[in-house]
Structure formats: C-alpha cells, structure tokens
Amino acid sequence: MGLLTGLRNSIARMTSSLFAGGEQQRRIGIYGPPNAGKTTLANRIARDWTGDAVGPESHIPHETRRARRKEDIEIERNGKSVSIDIVDTPGVATKVDYTEFLEHDMEEDDAVRRSREATEGVAEAMHWLREDVDGVIYVLDAAEDPFTQVNTMLVGIIESQDLPVLIFANKIDLDEASVQRINNAFPQHETVPLSALEGDNMDEVYDKIAEYFG
C-alpha cells in the first residue's frame, strides 16, 4: 500500500472514531481457511462474555456459509473494558467442489446447495474484508501446514488494508499441532496458541484482543 493510501485510510478511521462518540465499537472479522475452528472460537468468545453462541459447529467444511455477527461483546481485562462486534466468516477458499461434500454422507441436492451458499459466503467475506472490518483475527489449524497460497494471500490482503491482525494457532490440543510452524510462516505477526474447543489459553487470547483491538 502506498504512503498516501495508508495516510488516507488512517485519517478516515480516525475521523470515523471522532464522530462515533463515546466508546468505539470495533468490528473484528474472524477469518481463515475452512475447518480452522473459526466458529468454535467465535462461540467460545461469545459464550464467555455474553452467554450466547454465534452459530453451529461442524467438522464438515463450509459449515458457516453466511457471516454471523455477535454485537456488543464487552471484554474486561486488567480493569479496562473493550467493546467489540465479532463477525464469524465462512472459510476462505479459491475453489469449492460440491462433490467433496458427498463424502460426508450428504445428498447431492444438499451438497450443491451447500456449495452455492459457501461460494456466496466467501465472496461476501472478501468484500467485507475490504470494506467493513476494523481488525482481523486470523485463525489457523495448528495441526495443518500454514504455508498455503490462500493463507499467504489473505494475510497479505489484510496487511495491505493496514488492519490490525492477530494470528491464532488453534487446536493446540491435537498431538500433531505445531505453533512454531505458524510462527515460521508468518514471522511478521504475533501468534497466539489456543484451543477454542478445550478453552486452553483463553486468558492470553482475551489479553491480546484487548491489546490489539481496544
């Protein structure tokens, strides 16, 4: 991103915050590849601070096919309160093949419908990334290779928007998990290890959310 573009975006965000009045509500997008545990994390955060869930979780790819928002999550850390809206987005991919869903005992009509909904959801999530989020939590499955083209592209896109980004290495409860592998792939960003499923290391997760997005 050029200097002028960066300055323009910074001024726009500063102006927006000045006129918002009172406590600024930050809209934080949860992005990442399919099956990284984005919805599990969104649910964990929402349940911990509001008592409600955001959406259903599943091992089938593209369970989340429409972005879901949970508003007014107040996170209290070290005597301070941070208010955020979290947006759980569909897993970003460059390809969606409905036949892959058939392997999960799904009828063809359902698989085709899931595929169509998933593509619409990803397109929407990409559009929002350029227009409608103030920060990003990028969730990766620590048991998978992070050095994929989609991850590289997405992190580059987020950086080009000058958005604050936290990389979460999820699923550290799995034996094959490697946080260091994610550190090596994206050394320019801080990586926070966690298990959204088990609730491991959530204190540090909330500390970092407050630090980056507060």
Query: In a 10 Å sphere around its CB, with 0-12 CB exposed, 13-18 middle and 19+ buried, how is residue 121 labelled?
Result: buried
Q: Confirm or reject binding of residue 152 to other proteins (CB under 8 A).
A: yes
Whole-angstrom CA distances from 68 to 27, 43, 85, 88, 100 are 12, 11, 10, 5, 24
**Rounded least distance, CB 16 to other proteins, Å:** 20
Among 31, 168, 186, 212, binds other proteins (CB under 8 A): 186
Among 41, 46, 155, 194, binds other proteins (CB under 8 A): 155
Among 53-61, 71-79, 89-97, 165-173, the segment contacting other proteins (CB under 8 A): 89-97
CA-closest candidate to residue 94, choices 140, 152, 14: 152
**Rounded least distance, CB 161 to other proteins, Å:** 8
Q: Confirm or reject binding of residue 1 to other proteins (CB under 8 A).
A: yes
Distance CA 151, CA 36 (A): 11
Q: Confirm or reject binding of residue 10 to other proteins (CB under 8 A).
A: no
Q: Confirm or reject binding of residue 12 to other proteins (CB under 8 A).
A: no
Beta carbons within 8 Å of 185's beta carbon, 6+ residues apart: 146, 147, 151
Q: Confirm or reject binding of residue 78 to other proteins (CB under 8 A).
A: no
Beta carbons within 8 Å of 123's beta carbon, 6+ residues apart: none
Q: Confirm or reject binding of residue 94 to other proteins (CB under 8 A).
A: yes
Count the neighbouring beta carbons within 10 Å of the beta carbon of residue 171. Answer: 25
Q: Specify whether the CB–CB gap between 142 and 174 falls below 8 A.
A: yes
- The size of the interface with other proteins (CB under 8 A), counted in residues, is 37
Pick the closer one to other proteins by CB: 126 or 197. Answer: 126
Give residues in contact with other proteins (CB under 8 A): 1-6, 92-98, 112, 115-116, 119-120, 122-123, 126-127, 129-130, 147, 149, 152-153, 155-157, 159-161, 186-188
